Chains A and B, each alone.
Chain A
Amino acid sequence: MDRKELIAEIKLLNRLLDEAHNRAVAQFALIDKLTAASLHVQGLLKKLALEGSGAAKRRRNKG
């Protein structure tokens, strides 16, 4: 492999590494958003369950 081919190869590898890095960053950003959304939903479900059990208790006390 001569110098010219070597430089071309290094450029190609650098481009591939950059692309992989960018994809990983984008993927982590997505996972972060997914995590926030998932926690939000889990929090809402917890609140719903609490409200549901409170309402059931109130109904029992009335009856």
Chain B
Amino acid sequence: MQHPLQIVLVVDDHRDTAEMIAEFLREVGFDSHTANTGLDALRIYDALRPALIITDESLAGTIAGSELVRVLRRKYGPAVGRALFLTGAPDTVSSLPTDVVLEKPVDLETLIAAVRSILGGPPAARESGAAASARR
């Protein structure tokens, strides 16, 4: 039986960055979606309930990445799980000890390894399948 893909929400006000990260995650077997503001992210989280949120700390608009995650945890509790923050200033992020903070500009392999270690997969075999289908 095939397991459903794990959903990842990528939040970055820099549209290209969000899209590229989402695309890389799709290639390695995740079902990734993007949001460009905190408010968009709240709406999308509500609809999709992703297993992981990857967010930029400094988002355009009224809500920062860490604030977004705090709001979600208040609303949905532990179901929100760990978050992965991307930021140019890692010291300024106020996250839980279990969250992961990566410094921008981020290395793709490091990012994917961090996502895999948080979500525990998907298996490497799926990556070669995704890579093969991307080549077609």
Contacts and interface: CB of A to CB of B under 8 A. Distances in A.
A32 B56 CA distance: 9
A32 B20 contact: no
Contact of B88 (A28, A37, A42, A54): A28
B104 interface: yes
B14 A35 contact: yes
B42 to A, nearest CB: 21
**Which size bracket describes the interface of B in this complex?**
20 to 34
Contact of A34 (B58, B86, B105): B105
Counting chain A residues whose Cβ lies within 8 A of the other chain, the interface size class is 10 to 19
B contacts with A: majority SS? mixed
Interface in A33-53: 33-40, 42-43, 46, 50
20 contacts: A27-B88, A28-B88, A31-B105, A32-B88, A33-B14, A35-B86, A35-B106, A36-B14, A36-B17, A38-B105, A39-B16, A39-B21, A39-B105, A40-B20, A42-B108, A43-B24, A43-B108, A46-B108, A50-B134, A54-B135
